[in-house]
Amino acid sequence: MAGCFTLLAGREPAIGDAPGPAGVVGALRAYDRERRRSAQRTAFASRTLHRFMSTERTRLRDAAVRLLPG
């Protein structure tokens, strides 16, 4: 899931502004809280897409791909 955090991170946590070690820990916890749910959704979608695209039953997959625009 670390890769999903990396993909979703649009900014760095404000660690430089945090006073002392307690501030750094607090800033990292806040950053984790903010990003965790979104990263979990991205990881779930990635796993689901992989299962769908690598399935042995290709008829459903091929029919779904044909419906896509483009």
Average pLDDT across the chain, whole number: 76
- For residue 61, the enclosing domain spans 21-70
Structure-token pair, residue 23: 């501030």
Q: Per the domain annotation, does 27 fall within a domain?
A: yes
User: pLDDT for 30-46, tens place per residue?
Assistant: 888 888 888 889 999 99
The helix/strand count (H/E) of the chain reads as: 3, 0
User: pLDDT for 13-31, tens place per residue?
Assistant: 545 555 677 777 887 888 8
26 secondary structure, DSSP code: H
- pTM of the predicted structure, to 2 decimals: 0.48
Structure-token pair, residue 30: 């806040």
Q: What is the CA radius of gyration of the chain?
A: 19
Q: Per the domain annotation, does 55 fall within a domain?
A: yes
Q: Per the domain annotation, does 14 fall within a domain?
A: no
What was the pLDDT predicted at 44? 93
Q: Per the domain annotation, does 69 fall within a domain?
A: yes
Number of domains in the chain: 1
Contacts of 13 (CB under 8 A, 6+ apart): 27, 28, 30, 31
